[in-house]
Structure 1
Amino acid sequence: MYCKYAHNAGFSVRKEHHSFWPNSRKIRSKDYVCSKAGFKKSSDLNLQRKYRKSDTRTGCPAMIRFIVDEDGNWKVQKFIESHNHDLARPEDCHLLRSCRYMSDEKASILKTLTEAGIRTVDAFSYLADEVGDAYNYIQKEKRAKNEFGDTNSLIQLFKERQADDPMFAWDVQFDELDKLLNFFWVDGMGRIDFDCFGDVVIFDTSYRLNKYNLVCAPFVGVNNHWQNILLGVAFLSEETIESFTWLFRTFVRIMGDKYPITIFTNQDQAMTRAIEVALPSTRHRLCQWHISKKAPSKVWCFNSNDKVRGLFYKCLSKCDSEEQFEKTWAEMITEGSLHSNGWLEELYKIRKKWSTAFNKDCFSMDILSTQRSEFINNVCHDILKPTSSRTDYFLGLEKVMMTWRLSEQDEDYKCNQSVAVPVIKCSPILKQAAQFYSRKLYLFFEKEFLDGVGGMSIEHASSDSSQFLIKSAENLDHSTSWVVHFDAIDGSIQCTCGKFETMGLLCSHCMRVFRQLDIVNIPKKYLLMRWSARAKKDIYAARMFIGTGKTSEAGSGLSFRNHIIRFSYLIAAQAQGNEDAEQYMLNAMKDMAENIDLILHGKKFNQKFVSNEKGKISKFKRSTCLKKFLMHD
């Protein structure tokens, strides 16, 4: 009974103390507590483990105590309702540990499937589809395809998705004979993801649909958990400048006229020209993996001369400055007698698109290739057949997208319900980072911190502590060094390695300077919002705060509308399925609409609604939850 109440409220239950009647095994009292009750004992053994489990305990006081008489009648003796942590969202309640169970019917089906030789993972996938009534859905889609034909069926599917999801957007391009040439689609959550994580986009066109010879061109991003996110998908009938230009312009228009900071693609001349036209403010980077793959066939001594090969890879990503790149490239050409190599000459002309030495001033998340996008190709190859239609591919990619979002939802839940345990528990900087960053990004930051404090040495420092020369403590005699500039007035810090500019994380060299200056907190401006544990909420909350002032920027009206639409969509998606949350949102929006009307007519309005309504809803929630609990049969 308490578990059902807890799952509705959004927390997990753990058994606690109990007692028995004297000389008996009959229960006399029983305590059930929130799973976050108490604190775990710290142990130095945890530091020796390869994997450190996140800390989920917060000392939560929520609990219930039952007393049981000798006849077995249970009665509530003590009930504490309040929690000191965030509760799980309705869509995350299935992840609560005490909520995980399998019905006898599902267990029987699973047993039958595994005894028949079906892999466990496939059996679970079958059960997941059954829960979603996947069979009826598939039959409906098959009937639609047979009834309308492939192209009409696909457009009909777009219209159906748009009816269910107002932010679902799509566009198609036809030729003069009304034949479908290209199409692009993205759902509402994809547009939200781009709004929050669209700074770096990976675009790959290496996968083709055999049936139509169409190019599958997904736009892939990276979220705050370092996971892939699908920002939209296109299918192109031809890889021409016109097709790519149409696609990139359509992508930007649908995404609210927002341009990515960096886009990674394969080396394609038509694509390059299209990006110059349609994405003029976006930094175009080429996939290093494809370049290095071509090198053995283009450079005659690549495999036989280890020094040439090493210098080539250094030019790709190991040069710390443009000057070092030029010196390394010249040494490579001389060492291999490659002065007349045409492929290297052409590659040198576009060096700013592939060498990291020329891109330390631009945010790119330290990505070097389009491998993340090519992962979709492998998935498509596994779940689809050569004879699959456009509609099949659309539905298959939807399945991939939903799988990724379930993984993101799971990670959001873990970040919301637990905190990473720093390897040095007494470090204020690591504690601050563990509270702010997502779990994956915290591990990246912790590595930089440990490398800086334990692996870097200050070779020289200026008298005013504004400039530091940093070298690796392991190779002090090595010529490689980094210069860190620090401004004590505004707390600004910058390193020549460009880690923060490209990745959004402070580097190990800055960490060494912080340690030298006894700085125990990361300056707020170096905590990049897109890497926070609750990135979407933090980003929109920050924009709401910034947006309170007046602005005269060109296109500010469009930016405001896009921001409000996406923020409202995100809130509605969170409230959906919870009756109290839905009612509160409707009441708030009704009151807001009335107040906006008063503002537009130059009248004053009552601002007391928000606080009063919050209190009302909070009280209503408490009484409703308690009533459901006490009257549960």
Structure 2
Amino acid sequence: MEFESGEAAKTFYIAYAGRVGFSVRIARSRRSKCNESIIMLRFVCSREGFSREKRIIAGKKTRKRAASIREGCKAMLEVIRRGDERWVVMKLMKEHNHELGMPREILVIAKNFADTRNLLLNGQDSQYPREIRYNDLGPDDAQNLLEYFKKTQADNPFFYYAVQIENNNCMTNIFWADSKARMAYYYFGDVVRFDTKYINDKELMPIVMFTGVNHHQQPVVFGCALMVDETEASFTWLFENWLVAMPALPPVSLITELNRTMTSVVAKTLSQTHHCFCKAHILSTIQEELPDLFSEHIPFQGELKACIDESETIDSFESCWDAMINRYCLKENAYMQSLYNIRHQWVPVFVKQTFLAGVPGSQRCENFDKIIEKYFTTKTPLRTAVRQLSQTLANRSEKEAQAEFVTLFEKPFLRTASPMEKQAAGIYTRSIFDRFQEEFVESLGYHVDKIEDGPISKYRVMKNEIDDEIYSVDFNSTENKAHCSCFMFESSGILCRHALRVFIINGVRALPNNYILKRWTKHAKSGFVLDDYARYNDLCRDAVRCAREGATSTEFYAVAKDALQKAINEIVSAKLKRGQQTLQSFITSQKKQTKKVVKITPNKDASGKNLKKLTSTKLLAENDIR
């Protein structure tokens, strides 16, 4: 085990001793010769060692010290400091030579929030109660947050929250998502980033966030949680509740940091979702695992980054990786081998075939970082932090409204006379059109060679004939489909310059429908189903308010009950009326259709018998409709 400080190690061992049934004291410490700081601590059982009887002189009288409880117990924990931050366990003796006392409840005596959390995380397997803390204000503050959630949900039934309760009736993990977050997920929840950066930040609360991007490529939140640990049980509980809260199918892709426990949970709860790892996080873990290599071989970092970022094909990555591993003697390194085994989930040449919608995967959203660092300090009340976060996120909707205004009322400047560019300007939001326009204009400078003819033609696309970057585009002229080796459309949902160039030389003048993703269009947030959801949410809020005010007295109850009953009756009546109108319209249209079918002009020599038969057929048809 490792600890953040000597005090944290002491806190943990005292708590452990309380659960087992013995007391602790510090038997020995050692200081650094350089700066006199403590670099070693040894904690022992209070019955360690032996004591001889002593007489203490107090003036003229003498008294005998109480009998010693020391019995030579060897149980102990010794930690030493490595570097400036890590305290590691060097010696441990668990066996006692005496009977243990009654176990006691954990007493959190840490001087700060970070040491308290260290105690909780390392003591989570205890069968005895543990104190759960999200900040320095204690469990009462968490109860205040719960009351806030209850009130918020009463005012807005579309607000969702869930609390995990331990056997001792203690709250642990807390999840919440407001109406904006849930509705945003309905439209833009195809790609989600799950950020766990702050779980282990000792200066901030352990908040995690589900995020994504909207049709203007602005960041949006799909839910938040406070997590006290990173166990499989906690992750499973969180993902299951998040899926229940979200009003749509699971995401197409999920981006997370590299966490073995989380990976196992995602595989179980989101089995159909593409799980990708944050590349920047993995690169940072490599530096932590191989510090000597980074310091002794300066070129290694550059070679590693080039191998990962600049490999255009799978074959080029494989050969580059093998050469690097052999050059730096890493063939037997278990960590590098484990990263290679999951290369399909983080190396760009593999991940580019997965739809990620431009969600930040290699870097966090700085906007959310600033919000968390400002409001989620360990000194802030939970209720205040959550309210400030909600208010800040609500204010962000103004930026979306501004982007909507620009998209709807400011026509973009067209740089060509192409009908395809004009079509894209009328379909996409401004930010997406700007990206498309850049690709479209750049496509005009590319050279194309047809290298294979047939139902599906193959083209070689390059900037110029001596360019090393050559892309392969397959084009199906029957279906107007193009597939490029750069996989830009598969990853972002926007056509690349290479495919656009092939479209142009083949006379494709308009974007085919299968290359226009609704999530990037001006009408991305249209949809009858969610309009229904929004109306339901609005009516629930009014109904709850009616119930709350009406329940205050018998008189008000009667008024509220009568009003609700009248409203229900009027809705039912309106539905019946609409149903009758629809039925009548159907009957009328069928009558007109039937008359057209049976109306025949008889010949001059038609007999009266035939006319009678014709009239009879017409009457039978009308009776069938009735």
Tell whether the structures are fold-level matches, with TM greater than 0.5: yes
Shift of the alpha carbon at 1:178? 1.2
User: Per the alignment, do residues 312 and 599 of structure 1 end up closer, same or farther by CA in structure 2, a change over 3 Å counting?
Assistant: farther
Question: What residue in structure 1 maps to residue 325 of structure 2?
Answer: 333
- The answer on 1:508 being equivalent to 2:487 is no
The superposition leaves residues 14-68 of structure 1 with CA deviations (integer Å, 9 ceiling, x where unpaired) of: xxxxxxxxxxxxxxxxxxxxxxxxxxxxxxxxxxxxxxxxxxxxxxxxxxxxxxx
Q: How far, CA to CA, are the matches of 1:600 and 1:170 in structure 2? A: 39
Aligned partner (choices 217, 223, 228) of residue 226 of structure 1: 217
Per the TM alignment, residue 596 of structure 1 is displaced from its structure 2 partner at its CA by 5.2
Deviation track 1:516-543 (CA, whole Å, cap 9, x = no partner) reads 1122211122111000123102xx1xxx
Q: What residue is the counterpart of 1:485 in the other structure?
A: 474
1:364 aligns with 2:356: yes
1:162–1:168 Cα contact (<8 Å) kept: yes
Give SS of 2:507's match.
coil
Normalising to structure 2: TM-score of the pair? 0.61
Tell me if 1:442 matches 2:445. Answer: no
Counterpart amino acid of 2:194?
A: F
**Counterpart residue number, 1:411:** 403
1:266 aligns with 2:266: no
C-alpha distance in 2 between matches for 1:366 and 1:345: 29
State how far apart, in whole Å, the 1-side matches of 2:200 and 2:300 are. 39
How far 1:268 sits from its partner (Å)? 1.1
- What secondary structure, in the 3-state scheme, does the structure 2 residue paired with 1:411 have? helix
Contact 1:296 1:303 in 2 (8 A): no
What secondary structure is seen at the aligned counterpart in 2 of 1:352?
helix
The aligned amino acid for 1:397 is: L
Separation of aligned partners in 2, 1:592 and 1:319? 63
- Select 2:234's aligned residue among 240, 243, 259: 243
What is the alpha-carbon distance in structure 2 between the residues aligned to residue 493 and residue 598 of structure 1?
A: 51
Q: For the structure 1 residues 334 and 154, does the alpha-carbon distance in structure 2 shift closer, same or farther, using more than 3 Å as the test?
A: same
Opposite residue 341 of structure 1, the aligned amino acid is N
Match of 1:316 in 2: 308
Aligned to 1:524: 513
The 3 A distance-change label for structure 1 pair 271 and 569 is same
Name the SS of the counterpart of 1:604 in structure 2.
Answer: helix
Shift of 1:170: 1.1
Given the superposition, is the C-alpha separation of residues 469 and 572 from structure 1 closer, same or farther in structure 2, using an over 3 Å criterion? farther
Q: CA deviation at 1:594?
A: 5.0
Amino acid aligned to 1:154 = L
Output one character per residue of 1:123-182: Cα deviation in whole Å (capped at 9) or x when no partner. Answer: xxxxxxxxxxxxxxxxxxxxxxx9x94233222222222233231111111111111101
Q: How does 1:120-135 map to 2 (within 5 A)?
A: none
User: Who is 1:132 aligned against?
Assistant: none
Shift of 1:590: 9.7
Letter in 1 for 2:414: P
Q: Is the 8 A contact 1:412 1:534 kept in 2?
A: no
Equivalent residue, structure 2, for 1:566: 533
Determine the C-alpha separation between the residues in 1 that align with 2:160 and 2:440. 43
In structure 2, relative to structure 1, the CA distance for the partners of 1:590 and 1:381 (3 Å cut) is farther
Aligned residue for 1:57? none
Q: Cα 1:257–1:271, aligned 2, differ >3 Å: closer, same or farther?
A: same
Q: Identity over the aligned pairs, expressed in percent?
A: 26
Paired letter, 2:433:
Y
Task: State the distance in 1 between where 2:572 and 2:429 align.
Answer: 36
1:444-459 → structure 2 map (5 Å cutoff): 444-454=435-445, 456-459=446-449
Any stretches of 5+ residues in structure 1 without a counterpart? 1-145, 545-561, 574-587, 609-633
Query: What are the within-5 Å matches in structure 2 for residues 139-158 of structure 1?
Result: 149-158=140-149
| TM-score normalised according to structure 1 size | 0.61
CA distance in 2, matches of 1:469, 1:282: 33
3-state DSSP of counterpart to 2:173? strand
| CA distance 1:381–1:212, shift in 2 (3 Å) | closer
> Is the CA contact (8 Å cut-off) linking 1:244 and 1:271 kept in structure 2?
yes
Q: Is the 8 A contact 2:448 2:461 kept in 1?
A: yes
The code of the aligned residue for 1:526 comes to Y
Q: Secondary structure at the match of 1:150?
A: helix
CA contact (8 A) 2:187 2:525 kept: yes
Structure-2 separation of matches of 1:417 and 1:295:
49
Residue 278 of structure 2: aligned partner: 287
CA spacing shift, 1:255–1:474, aligned 2, 3 Å: same
Q: Take 1:391 and 1:211, find their aligned partners in 2: how far apart are those partners?
A: 20
Map 1:606-617 onto structure 2 (within 5 A): none
TM-fit CA distance, 1:477 = 4.7
SS in 2 for 1:388: coil
1:469 and 2:436 equivalent? no
How far residue 431 of structure 1 moved from its aligned partner, in angstroms, is: 1.2
Alignment CA distance shift 1:477-1:421 (3 Å): closer
- Aligned with residue 180 of structure 1, among 168, 171, 183: 171
Q: Is the 8 A contact 2:474 2:483 kept in 1?
A: yes
- Between stretches 599-608 and 216-225, larger displacement belongs to 599-608
Cα 1:233–1:597 shift into 2, 3 Å: farther
C-alpha distance in 2 between matches for 1:285 and 1:572: 40
Count of residues in Structure 1 that have an aligned counterpart in Structure 2: 423
Matched, 1:536 2:525: yes
The answer for the alignment partner of 2:419 in structure 1 is: 428
Determine the structure 1 residue equivalent to 2:596.
none
- Secondary structure of the residue that 1:536 maps to in structure 2? coil
Contact kept, 8 Å, 2:447 with 2:463, in 1: the verdict is: yes
Residue 447 of structure 2 contacts residue 462 of structure 2 at CA under 8 Å; is this kept in 1? yes
The range that moved more, 320-329 or 460-469, is 460-469
Deviation of 1:197 after TM superposition, in Å, equals: 0.2
Question: Structure 2 CA distance, aligned partners of 1:165 and 1:370?
Answer: 36
* 1:301 CA displacement: 4.8
SS across alignment from 1:237: coil
- Contact kept? 2:473, 2:483, Cα under 8 Å: yes
Report the Cα offset of residue 513 of structure 1.
Answer: 0.4
Q: Give the alignment partner of residue 401 of structure 1, picking from 393, 396, 402.
A: 393
**Following the alignment from structure 1 to structure 2, what is the Cα–Cα distance between the partners of residues 165 and 571?**
8
Distance between the aligned counterparts of 1:202 and 1:532, measured in 2? Answer: 22
> Given the alignment, which residue of 176, 182, 193 partners 1:202?
193
Deviation of 1:390 (Å): 1.7
Q: Aligned AA for 2:583?
A: K
Corresponding residue SS for 2:364: helix
Task: Determine helix, strand or coil for the equivalent of 1:512.
Answer: helix
Name the amino acid aligned to 2:328: G
Out of 345, 349, 358, the residue aligned to residue 353 of structure 1 is 345
AA paired with 2:476? D
Q: Select the residue among 572, 580, 583 that pairs with 1:604.
A: 583
Give the aligned residue type for 1:444. R
Aligned pair in 2 of structure 1 residues 459, 211: CA closer, same or farther (>3 Å)? closer
1:365-380 matches, within 5 Å, as 365-367=357-359, 369=361, 371-373=363-365, 375-380=367-372
Cα deviation 1:579-625 (Å, max 9, x = unaligned): xxxxxxxxx999986575579999826699xxxxxxxxxxxxxxxxx
Task: Name the CA distance, whole Å, in 2 between partners of 1:316 and 1:572.
Answer: 52
Query: In 2, distance between residues paired with 1:572 and 1:162?
Result: 14
Q: Which amino acid is the alignment partner of residue 230 of structure 1?
A: V
Give, as a single letter, the amino acid of the residue that structure 2 aligns with 1:159: K
What CA RMSD, in Å, does the superposition of the two structures yield over aligned residues? Answer: 3.4
- 8 Å CA contact 1:203–1:370 kept in 2: the answer is no
Whole-angstrom distance in 1 between the partners of 2:304 and 2:572: 62
Change (3 A) 1:307 1:432: farther
Q: CA deviation at 1:383?
A: 3.7
Contact 2:461–2:472, Cα closer than 8 Å, also in 1: no
Instruction: Note closer, same or farther for the CA distance 1:522–1:307 as it changes in structure 2 (3 Å cut).
Output: farther
State the alpha-carbon separation in 2 of the partners of residues 274 and 380 from structure 1: 26
Shift of 1:274: 1.3
In structure 2, the CA distance between the partners of 1:353 and 1:368, relative to structure 1 (3 Å rule), is farther
Change beyond 3 A, Cα 1:430–1:496: same
